[in-house]
Amino acid sequence: MTEFVTTALEDGVLVVKLARADKKNALTQAMYSALTDALSQAESDLAVKAVLLQGNDQVFCAGNDLEDFLSLKDLGQDSPILRFLTTLVRFKKPLLAAVAGPAVGIGTTVLLHCDLVVAQQGARFQLPFVALGLCAEAGSSVLLAQRVGQAKANEWLLTGKAYSSEEALAQGLINQVVEKDVCATGLAMAKQLAQLPSDALVTTKALIRAPFQAEAEKAIFDEAREFVRLLQGDECKGAIRAFFSRR
Ligand code: COA
């Protein structure tokens, strides 16, 4: 249990909120477990027609908690991160995200599993895995190129450079950019989907995802094996220590 992930049901939409703003919503192991529980609940609850993942109107998610990474030894299929990723990649109902501020690491790769994404002006997307001595995760080694094309996927994953909402929109990572109130916009989008015929929605999502489903699931496990190896390396440990000693 953690108070850093909250859920609320509104007009058929389960709003799943990251609520650890003082740490920029960096995800701890407990938060991954809470997210898995929320998605599992959403999958089985007939009252839930769509899910909105959000932080607040200032911050979405600064990625995995880097301190947690230092003590992480295992990324087996029962680990909180792998349980979350497999639940996410297999999630059948429409999943939306509202993004403001930083969307780093898993804060960006989670969007590859979302069906619609709205971001606020000033949001900042980044995949700094290589600079951290790590590799792609959450299926991003295949899903990013499928979403934005190989050239941009190479650029974003290899250089780790940050990019704006406008660039994310231009490249097709997200659907819409708003000036403000991104969470309210995300909720309105989710409520619109929630009113549509459920079986048709779920069936259409499954058909859209089908050509990449097996590939995405395989990538999650292939990446996890390399990720956990790299986590134990000096390059990664040094980069994480450098982050915490930067001031
Ligand atoms: N893990 C753990 N703590 C984190 C964190 C993370 N991923 N991201 C931010 N925090 C913490 C900071 O240590 C800081 O804590 P403190 O107030 O106790 O010192 C607090 O959140 C605020 O972060 P800060 O860096 O001061 O905010 P900022 O607005 O200047 O920068 C980010 C925001 C997201 C650009 C910056 O925090 C960052 O780069 N974070 C790391 C992102 C990352 O590498 N994630 C892992 C990807 S695999």
**CA 25–ligand 1 middle distance (angstroms):** 9
Q: Is residue 158 domain-resident?
A: yes
Which domain range does residue 95 map to? Answer: 5-180
Q: Has residue 89 been placed in a domain? A: yes
Query: Which among 94, 86, 110, 98 has a CA at the least distance from the CA of 27?
Result: 110
Does any domain span residue 17? yes
- Note whether 53 and 16 are within 8 A (CB): yes
Q: What share of the chain is helix, strand, coil (3-state, %, to 5)?
A: 50, 15, 30
Mean of the pLDDT values across residues 82-110? 98
Q: Ligand 1 pocket, 80 CB below 6 A?
A: no
pLDDT tens digit sequence for 101-157: 999 999 999 999 999 999 999 999 999 999 999 999 999 999 999 999 999 999 999
- Look at residue 112 in the predicted model and tell me its pLDDT: 98
Q: Which amino acid is at 90?
A: R
131 sits in which H/E element = none
pLDDT band at 246 (very low <50, low <70, confident <90, very high): confident
Domain harbouring 62, CATH code: 3.90.226.10
101 pocket-lining for ligand 1 (C-beta < 6 Å): no
User: What are the DSSP E strand ranges found in the chain?
Assistant: 5-10, 13-18, 50-54, 95-99, 102-104, 116-120, 124-126, 163-164, 176-178
Nearest Cα residue to atom 2 of ligand 1: 65
Q: What distances in angstroms separate CA 180 from CA 61, 133, 147, 198, one per listed residue?
A: 17, 35, 25, 30
**Facing residues of 116 across strands?**
96
CA 173 / ligand 1 centre spacing (Å): 23
65 Cβ inside 6 Å of ligand 1: yes
Query: Using one digit for the tens of pLDDT, what is the confidence trace for 205-227?
Result: 999 999 999 999 999 999 999 99
As a whole-number percent, the residues of the chain with pLDDT over 90 amount to: 97
Question: Is 76 a member of any domain?
Answer: yes
Mean pLDDT of the chain: 97
> 132: Cβ below 6 Å to ligand 1?
yes
Q: Judge whether 214 lies within some domain.
A: no
Residues 173 and 140: their CA atoms lie apart, in Å, by 12
pLDDT digits (tens, 9 = 90+) for 45-68: 999 999 999 999 999 999 999 999
Ligand 1 within 6 A of 24 CB? Answer: yes
The reply to whether ligand 1 has any atom less than 6 angstroms from the CB of 63 is yes
Q: Do 39 and 91 touch, CB atoms closer than 8 A?
A: yes
Cα(137) to centroid(ligand 1), Å = 19
Quote the percentage of the chain above a pLDDT of 70. 99
Please, is 1 exposed, middle or buried when counting C-beta atoms within 10 Å of its C-beta (0-12, 13-18, 19+)?
exposed
Whole-structure pTM value: 0.98
Task: Say if 52 falls within a structural domain.
Answer: yes
Structure confidence by residue, pLDDT tens digits, 12-23: 999 999 999 999
pLDDT number for residue 73 = 86
- What confidence tier does 247 reach under pLDDT thresholds 50, 70, 90? low
- The answer for 133, left when phi > 0, alpha when psi is -120 to 50, beta otherwise, is left
- With respect to residue 113, please indicate whether it lies within any of the assigned structural domains: yes
First and final C-alpha spacing in the chain: 32
Of 60, 53, 49, nearest to 15 (Cα)? 53
Provide the pLDDT confidence category of residue 30 given band limits of 50, 70 and 90: very high
Contacts 24+ apart (CB under 8 A), 207-216: 208/115, 212/142, 212/143, 212/146, 213/89, 215/142, 216/89, 216/139, 216/142, 216/143
Residue 157, ligand 1, Cβ within 6 A:
no
CA-closest residue to ligand 1 atom 4: 23
Strand partners, 104: 126
Atom of ligand 1 nearest to the CA of 127: 47
Closest residue CA from atom 34 of ligand 1: 62
Q: Give the Å distance between the CA of 229 and the centre of ligand 1.
A: 23
* Count of Cβ atoms closer than 10 Å to residue 20 Cβ: 20
Beta bridge partners of 96: 52, 116
How many structural domains does the chain have?
1
Position 202 in a domain:
no
Distance 62 CA to ligand 1 centre (A): 6
128 Cβ below 6 A of ligand 1: yes
